[in-house]
Amino acid sequence: MASIDDVARQAGVSTATVSRALSGRGVVSPTTRERVREAAHALGYVVSAHASSLASGRTRNIGVIVPYLDRWFFSTVLSGVSSAMMRAGYDITLYNITPDREVRRQVFGDFLRRQAVDGVIAVSTKLDEDETQQLLDLDLPVVAIGGPHPRLDTLMVDEAAVARLAAEHLISLGHRDIAYIGAGPAFDTDFLVPTHRRRGFESALASAGIAFDPRLVEPADFTIEGGHRAALALLDRPDRPTALLAASDEMAMGALLAARDLGIRVPEQLSIIGIDGHELGEFFGLTTVDQFPHAQGERAAEAVLAKLTDAAPDGIRSSLPVELKVRKSTGPQI
């Protein structure tokens, strides 16, 4: 197995330069860094994580706290975190927390306190005061996605504004009979995302002088199946709406399938819009408000890395970008 001395000889530099070039710490010219990397690659040399940790006092590992691992939004955010961390030479350790108090106690009171991570990213996870304080007591960089987190650096999406933008798009096309598929109270956990999105929808209606009709609201569970069931209930009647806003792209896809099953043409007879920016949205021709979850993960990773190098101030309160993407599922009311 090649050693650091072998890499130094092949690259024609000192072992200290090899260490700086491969760790990313210290001043090394781009030309020298590339020469060292080429020598290391040719020799099959890999930096010892244990040795690097002893030398730097860092593990090059970031803890990521998530409430779900099997839902599209969370897995996409994780993919963004992982991509950015891998580029920087960091590993990630996942902590899947649940509402169970014992699980949460173990994560915040035990696992993270083992100091096996250099920083923490909390993804769309509501933390109580005790959990927040335990994170702060680690004296490590912590960045949260979602919020509000008054005591933590936080990257946030304005959920009400997202839904308002979606509703305003339908209103601008002349629609006034607009149905809404959201979520029941059982799904309104953590930061009340379903509630904020429904408020944004209602706010857009009010601003346009459109009376809110509770008969045009149907709860679902943020899945394609749930959206399909809810859309069938809203559309399989003579006074059906001309447009439908689903509080997630997966529910909107379910609504598209329901419209197909009922022989309703989209967008000629029904416009449908979703929220999230699901990767299958383009395949379905779905108009959506994209919140770029992969980029959210990348930005959170970059924020933690910047804090590790003291390149970022404390007190981050960043509003994440969103974008209306108009596709084939919405059109003017005929």
CA nearest to 63, candidates 164, 160, 144:
144
Q: Using a pLDDT cut of 70, give the percent of the chain over it.
A: 89
pLDDT at 163: 96
State the span(s) of the chain assigned CATH 3.40.50.2300.
Answer: 61-157+294-321, 159-290
- Which of 54, 135, 121 minimizes the C-alpha distance to 93? 121
Strands of the sheet with 217-220, listed across from one edge = 217-220, 178-183, 243-246, 271-276, 287-290, 323-325
CATH architecture of 4-56: Orthogonal Bundle (1.10)
Residue 103: pLDDT band by 50, 70, 90 thresholds?
Answer: confident
Residue 128 has pLDDT above 90, yes or no: no
Q: What are the pLDDT digits (tens) for 155-193? A: 988 999 999 999 999 999 999 999 999 986 666 555 678
| Topology of the domain covering 159-290 | Rossmann fold (3.40.50)
Task: Kindly provide the b/e burial profile for residues 169-195, where b requires at least 16 CB atoms within 10 angstroms of the residue's own CB.
Answer: bbbebebeebbbbbbeeebeeebebbb
SS3 of the chain: the string is CCCHHHHHHHHCCCHHHHHHHHHCCCCCCHHHHHHHHHHHHHHCCCCCHHHHHHHHCCCCEEEEEECCCCCHHHHHHHHHHHHHHHHCCCEEEEEECCCCHHHHHHHHHHHHHHCCCCEEEEECCCCCHHHHHHHHHCCCCEEEECCCCCCCEEEECCHHHHHHHHHHHHHHCCCCCEEEEEECHHHCCCCCHHHHHHHHHHHHHHHCCCCCCHHHEEEECCCHHHHHHHHHHHHCCCCCCCEEEECCHHHHHHHHHHHHHCCCCCCCCCEEEEEECCCCHHHHCCEEEECCHHHHHHHHHHHHHHHHCCCCCCCCEEECCCEEECCCCCCCCC
Q: pLDDT category, 254, cuts 50, 70, 90?
A: very high
What one-letter code names the amino acid at 145? I
pLDDT tens-place string over residues 21-41: 876 666 788 888 889 888 888
Contacts 24+ apart (CB under 8 A), 4-11: 4/45, 6/43, 6/45, 7/36, 7/39, 7/40, 7/43, 7/45, 10/39, 10/42, 10/43, 11/35, 11/36, 11/38, 11/39
pLDDT at 56: 46
- For the entire predicted model, the pTM comes to 0.79
Quick one: pLDDT band at residue 313, thresholds 50, 70, 90?
low
Note whether 243 and 216 are within 8 A (CB).
no
| Positions of CATH 1.10.260.40 in the chain | 4-56
Q: Is the pLDDT of residue 100 over 70?
A: yes
Mean pLDDT confidence for 297-306: 93
What the block records as the tokens of 290 is 């994209």
Q: For 139, how many CA atoms within 13 A lie in the half-sphere containing its CB?
A: 1
The CATH label, of 3.30.930.10, 1.10.10.60, 3.40.309.10, 3.40.50.2300, for the domain at 61-157+294-321 is: 3.40.50.2300
Give pLDDT, residue 109.
Answer: 81
